[in-house]
Every structure is written in structure tokens, then in C-alpha cells.
Amino acid sequence: MLKSTTILAGALTAAVATTAAAEGELNLYSSRHYDTDERLYTDFEEATGITINRIEGKADELIARMQAEGENSPADVLLTVDTSRLARAKNAGVLQSIESATLEERIPANLQDNDNQWFGFSQRARIIFVDTDEVANPPQTYLDLAKPEYKGMVCHRSSSNVYSQTLLSSIIEKHGEEAAREWAAGMVANFARAPQGGDTDQLRGIISGECDISVANSYYFARALRKDVKGLTADIDQITWIFPSQDAEGAHMNLSGGGVAAHAPNRENAIKFLEYLASDQAQQYFSGGNDEFPTVPGVEKSESVAKLGEFVADDVNLSDVAENLPTAQKIFNDVGWE
């Protein structure tokens, strides 16, 4: 029987708080919205006897809520998607540093916070997709996307999207602010349409003929290989993919991760849960259930993810990349990236 309780109403926080310190509980604030994660929670409960109480919502709302709750927050763990949000949580003071030999050993150093306040548990490669019939010489790097030869061909998400922000932040880290500014301006000049929609919409844009080149996270495409995605799967052979910068820094990786809440009443349970997320079993769930790449080296990838092939991933320290986010947003504003 599923023991996890999804709590949506803010009024229930007080009720959770009164039992938060009880032995055998874990209060999880999560912005991950994937049904397949249920297996992660139920298996942890069965293995440990610890009951997970969940509060779900958008990342920024959960971070703001934890700030407002302060020392009385029932939160033990925050799970969210993208380095920018993990950095936002750290800067908001809602996470704490922890010591865990398991996490230190299993999670690569570049996929964890420099102060051990957050750790990455799954990854998505942000890669280039092209129309196989329309693009004879596709871009091979992120910087190539801004070349004049691709004018009017590129679809991308808005500048307010965290994936866009983190990609530009990584370009700043690797190539410097001036090169990043030139890239962003070139991208705006090459847009086939105003930035809009999610990653699946960028892929559908190729199918519909609105654009010839798109940028999206790998797991949206892998999902369409595994099961039917409306407006994408039926014509997916029209699209090919490119892992960018294979002769340079490698493909940019987006991170899904979490950390222990600053005032966690069940701190030891929280650390146990994070360590469980780094286990081979949990890592395989991330890949098999949601088409993501494991962060722990050597864990077998799911069939849909393996179909994308081997590639070189950027090993930049994502904690350093996060420090460039304010500069990235300023560049977006300056060049008119909507």
C-alpha cells in the first residue's frame, strides 16, 4: 500500500509540523512531478520503515514557503530540477551542509555543491536536434547555433526558463562573458519564432516545419522513443540529434537534485533518503522511469536512454556555473531574448 501522502494545501503545514519530529518520518518538499518517482518513495519506505510525507509544488513556491516557515519548517528534504533552482535554494538559506561519505564517494564532485548543500541524482543532456531533410550542415557546438547561416531556423525556450539560464551560465563559465553575449545576440537573430513553450514544443516545431533546428533536454526525446508522445513520436524519424561540443567541453548537462533542509527535524532520515537516491537501484529508476542519465558512474542506462548513444559530457563544476546566473539574466535582457 502506498504510504506517501501528497499534501497540496498550505493549511496542512501545521499538522505536518506537529508530527515532524516523530521517529520514522521524512517530510519531503518536491517539485519533481513524475509519476514514475512513486517507485523511489515506496521502495525507500519498505526498505527503511520511514514514512514519506510529501508536499509538492513549483520549485520557487517551495523555496519561498521554506523561507516563510523559517525554523518551524517541517521540511526535511528539498528535491528540485536544474542547477539554477538548487543554487537559488542555497542562496535563500533553506538548505544546510551535510557530511556523507556515501554521497561524496558516489556523486561526482562536479555534480554536487561546493559546500555539500545539494547533490545531483539524475541528469539530462541539453542537445541539438535538427530536421534531417532540411539541414545539410548542422551545428556541432552551442556557439555554432548563433552563426548567420542558421538565420530564421532555430527554436528555443524563453529566457525565463531555467534550462536557458543554466545553458548561458555554462557558456559564460567556459567561454567568458563577451563570447556568451555574442552567442545570445546571435541566437536572437536566428530565431524562427519568438521563444515559446516547453522542450517538447521545440521538438514538435521541427515536425511542424516551424523550425529546422531546436535545443531540448535529451529525456523529452528519449521518452518519445519509448512511448507515444502526441505530435512527435509518429514522425520522430524526421529528427536527428547532435551531442554538441564533442571535441571541446562536451554536452551541457542539466541536473535534478536535492539537499537537506536547513531546519530539518528528521535530519538523519533526510541524509538516509539522499543516500538512497544515490544507490544503484534508485539511479536505475531515474533512468528507466523518466529517461534520465544516472549521475553515479557505471549504473546501467535504460534502453531509451542508451539509444541516444555514447557522448562526452561537460564536466564543468555546476556549483561554479550557478554563480553566473545573474550575469546570464542580464545578458538575456540586454540582447532582447524574450
Please list, in sequence order, all residues whose beta carbon lies within 8 angstroms of the beta carbon of residue 201, skipping any fewer than 6 positions away.
Answer: none
Which burial class, exposed, middle or buried, applies to 11 when counting CB atoms under 10 A from its CB (0-12, 13-18, 19+)?
Answer: exposed
Which residue, 263, 216, 290, is CA-closest to 71?
263
In this structure, the dihedral spanned by the alpha carbons of residues 154, 212, 131 and 308, taken in order and rounded to 10 degrees, is 20
* Contact between 243 and 21 (Cβ < 8 Å): no
Q: Hey, which residues does 242 pair with through a beta bridge?
A: 128
pLDDT classification of 36: cutoffs 50, 70, 90: confident
DSSP state letters, 230-290: TTTGGGGGGEEEE-S-TTTT-BEEEEEEEEEBTT-TTHHHHHHHHHHHTSHHHHHHHHHHH
Which whole number is the average pLDDT over 261-283?
97
| pLDDT grade for 16, boundaries at 50, 70 and 90 | very low
Query: Is 149 within 8 Å of 186 (Cβ atoms)?
Result: no
Q: What pLDDT score was predicted for residue 336?
A: 98
pLDDT for position 193 = 97
Compute, in degrees rounded to 10, the torsion defined by CA atoms 271, 281, 19, 32.
Answer: 90
Burial per residue of 42-79, b for 16 or more beta-carbon CB atoms within 10 angstroms, e otherwise: eebbeeeebbbbbbbbebeebbebbeebeeebbbbbbb
- Asked if residue 21 has pLDDT above 70, the reply is no
pLDDT score recorded for residue 23? 57
Q: What is the pLDDT of residues 177-202, one digit of tens each?
A: 999 999 999 999 999 999 999 999 99
Q: What share of the chain is helix, strand, coil (3-state, %, to 5)?
A: 45, 20, 35
pLDDT digits (tens, 9 = 90+) for 278-302: 999 999 999 998 999 999 999 999 9
Instruction: Return the minimum-mean-pLDDT range out of 239-243, 271-275, 314-318.
Output: 314-318
Strands 51-56 and 252-260: unpaired
CA-CA distance, 30 to 238, in Å (whole number)? 36
Kindly state the average pLDDT of the residues 211-221.
Answer: 97
pLDDT of 74 reads 98
Share of the chain above pLDDT 90, in %: 89
**Predicted local distance difference test score (pLDDT) of residue 292:** 94
Residue type at 176 in one-letter notation: G
Least confident of 36-40, 75-79, 143-147: 36-40
Predicted confidence at residue 338, as pLDDT, reads: 96
| Helix or strand run (H / E) with residue 64 | helix 59-69
Radius of gyration, alpha carbons of the chain: 20
| Average pLDDT score over residue span 243-259 | 96
pLDDT per residue as tens digits for the range 39-87: 899 999 999 999 999 999 999 999 999 999 999 999 999 999 989 999 9
Q: Can you tell me the mean pLDDT for 302-308?
A: 94
SS3 call for 203: helix
Closest CA to 263 of 45, 88, 25, 27: 27
